[in-house]
Structure 1
Amino acid sequence: MLWACVVLPQLALDGVMRRRPDPDEPLALLTGTAQRRVLQTVNPAARALGLRPGQSLTAAHALVRQFATVEYDPAEVERWHRLLAAWAYRFSAQVSLKYPRVLMMEVGSSLSLFGPWPVFEARLRKELSALGFSHRIVVAPNPAAARVLANVHDGLAVTCRETLREALQRMPIDRVGLSREVATAFARMGLHTLHSVLALPRNTLARRFPAQVLQHLDALLGERALALDCYQPPDYFDLRIELNFDVESHQALLFPLKRLISDLAAFLAGRDSGVQRFAIHLEHMEGKDTLLPVGLLSAERDAAMLFELARGRLEQIQVPSPVRAVRLLARDLPRFVPTHRELFEEHPQQALPWEQLRERLRARLGDEAVNGVRAHADHRPECAWQTGNALTSGSPLSLSPRPGWLLREPVPVHESGVRILAGPERIESGWWDGGDVRRDYYLIETRSGQRAWAYQTVGEGGSLLLQGWFA
Structure 2
Amino acid sequence: MRWACILLPQLALDGVLRRCADPDAPRVLVGGSAQRRMLHAVSPAARALGLRRGMALTAAQALAHGFATDAYRPEDEARWHRFLAGWAYGFSSQVSLQFPHALMLEIQGSLGLFGPWPRFEARLREELTALGFRHRIVAAPHPLAARVLANGHDGLAIDGDAPLRHALGQLPIQRAGFAPEVATAFARMGLRTLRQVWALPRDGLARRFPAEVLRHLDALLGERDVALESYRPPDRFDPRIELGHEVESSQALLFPLKRLTADLAAFLAGRDGGVQCFVLQLEHDHDARTRVPVGLLAPERDAALLFELARGRLEQVQLPAPVRAIALCADELPPFVPVHRELFDPRPQQAMPWEQLRERLRARLGEDAVHGVQVQADHRPECASISPPDVPTRREAPSPGAAAGPRPGWLLAKPVPLRGPMPQLLAGPERIESGWWDGGDVRRDYYRARLATGQCAWVFRPIGGGGFMLHGWFA
For normalisation by structure 1, the TM-score amounts to 0.90
Shift of 1:352: 1.9
Give the Cα separation in 2 of the matches to 1:220 and 1:194: 11
Shift of 1:381: 2.6
Contact between 1:273 and 1:333, CA under 8 Å: does it hold in 2? Answer: yes
* Residues 303-325 of structure 1, C-alpha deviations (whole Å, 9 max, x = no match): 12221222222221221221111
Give the Cα separation in 1 of the matches to 2:415 and 2:146: 77
**Other-structure match for 1:403:** 407
Give the 3 Å change call, closer, same or farther, for CA 49–397 of structure 1 in structure 2. same
Give the Cα separation in 2 of the matches to 1:309 and 1:336: 18
Look up the equivalent residue of 2:254 and give its one-letter code. L
**Other-structure match for 2:100:** 100
Give the Cα separation in 2 of the matches to 1:54 and 1:79: 23
Contact between 2:457 and 2:472, CA under 8 Å: does it hold in 1? Answer: no
- Secondary structure (helix, strand or coil) at the match of 1:297 reads strand
Shift of 1:228: 1.1
- Secondary structure (helix, strand or coil) at the match of 1:326 reads strand
**Other-structure match for 2:253:** 253
Shift of 1:402: 5.0
Q: Tell me how large the CA RMSD over aligned residues is.
A: 2.7
Give the Cα separation in 1 of the matches to 2:221 and 2:338: 43
**Other-structure match for 2:237:** 237
**Other-structure match for 1:157:** 157
Give the Cα separation in 2 of the matches to 1:381 and 1:144: 73
- Which deviates the most, 176-185 or 391-400? 391-400
**Other-structure match for 1:318:** 318
Give the Cα separation in 2 of the matches to 1:346 and 1:379: 35
1:23 equivalent in alignment to 2:23: yes
1:79 equivalent in alignment to 2:79: yes
* Residues 256-286 of structure 1, C-alpha deviations (whole Å, 9 max, x = no match): 1111111111111111112211111111124
Give the 3 Å change call, closer, same or farther, for CA 144–415 of structure 1 in structure 2. same
Give the Cα separation in 2 of the matches to 1:42 and 1:377: 71
Look up the equivalent residue of 2:133 and give its one-letter code. F
Contact between 2:24 and 2:45, CA under 8 Å: does it hold in 1? Answer: yes
Look up the equivalent residue of 1:391 and give its one-letter code. T
Give the 3 Å change call, closer, same or farther, for CA 170–361 of structure 1 in structure 2. same
Question: Could you tell me the percent identity over the aligned residues?
Answer: 60
Give the Cα separation in 2 of the matches to 1:408 and 1:10: 64
- Secondary structure (helix, strand or coil) at the match of 1:77 reads helix
1:115 equivalent in alignment to 2:120: no
1:219 equivalent in alignment to 2:219: yes
- Secondary structure (helix, strand or coil) at the match of 2:86 reads helix
Give the 3 Å change call, closer, same or farther, for CA 466–59 of structure 1 in structure 2. closer
- Which deviates the most, 373-382 or 110-119? 373-382
* Residues 194-238 of structure 1, C-alpha deviations (whole Å, 9 max, x = no match): 222223344443344333222222211112221111111111210
**Other-structure match for 1:384:** 384
- Which deviates the most, 90-99 or 47-56? 47-56
- Which deviates the most, 258-267 or 178-187? 178-187
- Secondary structure (helix, strand or coil) at the match of 2:368 reads helix
Contact between 2:97 and 2:104, CA under 8 Å: does it hold in 1? Answer: yes
Give the 3 Å change call, closer, same or farther, for CA 41–411 of structure 1 in structure 2. closer
- Secondary structure (helix, strand or coil) at the match of 1:369 reads coil
Tell me the matched-pair count: 466
**Other-structure match for 2:309:** 309
- Secondary structure (helix, strand or coil) at the match of 1:311 reads helix
**Other-structure match for 1:297:** 297
Shift of 1:191: 3.3
**Other-structure match for 1:332:** 332
For residues 113-152 of structure 1, the aligned pairs below 5 Å read 113-152=113-152
Give the 3 Å change call, closer, same or farther, for CA 465–26 of structure 1 in structure 2. closer
Give the 3 Å change call, closer, same or farther, for CA 444–228 of structure 1 in structure 2. same
Give the 3 Å change call, closer, same or farther, for CA 372–56 of structure 1 in structure 2. same
- Which deviates the most, 284-293 or 134-143? 284-293
Shift of 1:108: 1.4
Contact between 2:425 and 2:447, CA under 8 Å: does it hold in 1? Answer: no
* Residues 120-160 of structure 1, C-alpha deviations (whole Å, 9 max, x = no match): 11111111111111000000011111001001000000012
Look up the equivalent residue of 2:352 and give its one-letter code. L
Contact between 1:265 and 1:303, CA under 8 Å: does it hold in 2? Answer: yes
Contact between 2:423 and 2:449, CA under 8 Å: does it hold in 1? Answer: no
Shift of 1:354: 1.9
Contact between 1:420 and 1:444, CA under 8 Å: does it hold in 2? Answer: yes
- Secondary structure (helix, strand or coil) at the match of 1:298 reads strand
* Residues 364-410 of structure 1, C-alpha deviations (whole Å, 9 max, x = no match): 22222223322234443321211244524553362544514333334
- Which deviates the most, 26-35 or 58-67? 58-67
Contact between 1:373 and 1:386, CA under 8 Å: does it hold in 2? Answer: yes
Give the 3 Å change call, closer, same or farther, for CA 27–144 of structure 1 in structure 2. same
Give the Cα separation in 1 of the matches to 2:423 and 2:166: 95
Give the 3 Å change call, closer, same or farther, for CA 50–186 of structure 1 in structure 2. closer
Shift of 1:464: 7.3
Contact between 1:453 and 1:470, CA under 8 Å: does it hold in 2? Answer: no
Shift of 1:240: 0.4
Give the 3 Å change call, closer, same or farther, for CA 407–396 of structure 1 in structure 2. farther
Give the 3 Å change call, closer, same or farther, for CA 417–15 of structure 1 in structure 2. closer
**Other-structure match for 2:350:** 350
* Residues 33-86 of structure 1, C-alpha deviations (whole Å, 9 max, x = no match): 112211111112222222222122222222234321111000000111111111
- Secondary structure (helix, strand or coil) at the match of 1:332 reads coil
Look up the equivalent residue of 2:407 and give its one-letter code. P
Contact between 1:370 and 1:390, CA under 8 Å: does it hold in 2? Answer: no
Give the Cα separation in 2 of the matches to 1:188 and 1:347: 70
- Secondary structure (helix, strand or coil) at the match of 1:258 reads helix
Give the Cα separation in 2 of the matches to 1:104 and 1:465: 74
Contact between 2:8 and 2:136, CA under 8 Å: does it hold in 1? Answer: yes
Give the Cα separation in 1 of the matches to 2:368 and 2:448: 37
Question: Structure 1: any 5+ residue segments left out of the alignment?
Answer: none
Give the Cα separation in 1 of the matches to 2:105 and 2:235: 21
Give the Cα separation in 1 of the matches to 2:393 and 2:191: 70
Give the 3 Å change call, closer, same or farther, for CA 430–139 of structure 1 in structure 2. farther
Look up the equivalent residue of 1:396 and give its one-letter code. S
Give the Cα separation in 2 of the matches to 1:221 and 1:455: 91
